[in-house]
Amino acid sequence: STLQEWRPFNKTRVYMSDLESALHYSLRVELSGHISISGDDLIALKKYINVLAKYFPGRPSVKSALNTVDSWLQQQKGLEIKYSDFRDVLDNTVQTSDAVLPEGVQWVGCQGSQAHFRGYPCTVWTLFHVLTVQAKEMSSPDPQEVLQAMRSYVSSFFGCRPCATHFESMAQESMDHVTSLSTAVLWLWSRHNRVNNRLAGELSEDPHFPKIQWPSPELCPSCHGLKKTGEHSWNQEEVLTFLRNYFSSAHILTDYLQ
Ligand code: FAD
């Protein structure tokens, strides 16, 4: 059935249920389309899982599951792995200890007004923003680590192929210029706004969640300013402060977790 119970939520918050749903969907649905994984795809998968193991701000059981999968993957020295072996580690090795990667999806902040709106792509953006902010909080030594992991994940596995092509062209254009953890957070924010700009008014837009240049003046008044010419300008210092709070681990809501 496409009818799902609506879960009331706060539109201005991030939900752990969405982040865990993103993990489930990427690891058990998107990846399962690849019977064996090799070459650039295997490198992409290793980087993605490694970044999740380091920076996913989850429950101890979920972090423990990601660590188990990460260690297993780092030990795989062959040219390819079978998805079924990867899946076995996810579903068996992992679930026997105190480590668990919850099964199934439960969108909360990423619910759409109809089943074909929002959901997974919304949780992917949310997850990526959370990871860039978490890398900043944890003073990761490599400012591009999270962005490059996302870039290769999207390129190898993201099911929406036009999205992957667009994202890769933005990455090629300017991702290499990111030289600090703060600019990594801001890079992702500004590219996401470019995508919002491109998609505003399209049929794919959920009418209840219009694509805007985010955050709105209501959500972050101090983020917005005017140039002398009267044109809108972003106050990037304020945007960075806002993002570091909005996507911080302490600010994530745990309602509706399985
Ligand atoms: P989303 O854009 O998914 O955003 C999720 C939430 O993030 C929003 O509700 C808001 O709370 C917050 N947010 C919004 N803007 C920002 C921002 N600038 N910075 C930080 N947080 C923000 N769809 C296409 O049709 N064509 C494409 O080319 C395309 N490319 C994509 C590329 C990537 C990498 C991803 C992950 C998705 C892409 N999509 C594309 C899907 C599209 O961007 C949306 O995810 C989808 O339409 C659902 O939109 P949404 O309303 O849930 O908001």
Per-residue pLDDT reduced to its tens digit, 165-216: 999 999 999 999 999 999 999 999 999 999 999 999 998 999 999 999 999 9
- CATH classification of the domain holding 61: 1.20.120.310
| Number of the ligand 1 atom closest to the C-alpha atom of 196 | 2
Residue 11 lies in a domain: no
Per-residue pLDDT band at 1 (split at 50, 70, 90) = very low
- Phi–psi pair at 160, nearest 5 degrees: -80, 100
Rounded distance from Cα 122 to ligand 1 centre (Å): 5
Q: Give the residue-averaged pLDDT of 25-50.
A: 98
Amino acid, res. 36: S
104-161 confidence digits (pLDDT tens):
999 999 999 999 999 999 999 999 999 999 999 999 999 999 999 999 999 999 999 9
Angle (CA) 49 131 62, round 5°? 55
CA 253, CA 110: separation in Å to the nearest integer? Answer: 13
Per-residue pLDDT band at 93 (split at 50, 70, 90) = confident
Angle (CA) 139 145 148, round 5°? 150
Residue 1 lies in a domain: no
Rounded distance from Cα 121 to ligand 1 centre (Å): 6
Kindly state if the Cβ of 129 falls inside 6 Å of ligand 1.
yes
CA 183, CA 76: separation in Å to the nearest integer? Answer: 33
Helix (H), strand (E) counts: the chain: 10, 4
Give the whole-number percent of the chain exceeding pLDDT 90. 93
**Ligand 1, pocket-test mutation among 30, 105, 114, 122, most atoms within 8 A of CB:** 122
pLDDT at site 95:
63
Kindly state if the Cβ of 10 falls inside 6 Å of ligand 1.
no
pLDDT at site 98:
83
Residues in the chain, total: 258
**Ligand 1, pocket-test mutation among 125, 163, 239, most atoms within 8 A of CB:** 125
Residue 3 lies in a domain: no
Rounded distance from Cα 147 to ligand 1 centre (Å): 16
Residue 5 lies in a domain: no
Residue 45 lies in a domain: yes
Closest CA to 108 of 4, 205, 9: 9
Give the whole-number percent of the chain exceeding pLDDT 70. 97
Residue 8 lies in a domain: no
Task: Please give the residue range of the domain that contains residue 132.
Answer: 16-251
Q: What predicted TM-score, i.e. pTM, was given to this entire model?
A: 0.97
Number of structural domains in the chain: 1
Kindly state if the Cβ of 64 falls inside 6 Å of ligand 1.
no
3-class DSSP state of 123: helix
Residue 6 lies in a domain: no
Kindly state if the Cβ of 54 falls inside 6 Å of ligand 1.
no
Amino acid, res. 101: L
What's the maximum distance between 2 C-alpha atoms anywhere in the chain? Answer: 62
Residue 24 lies in a domain: yes
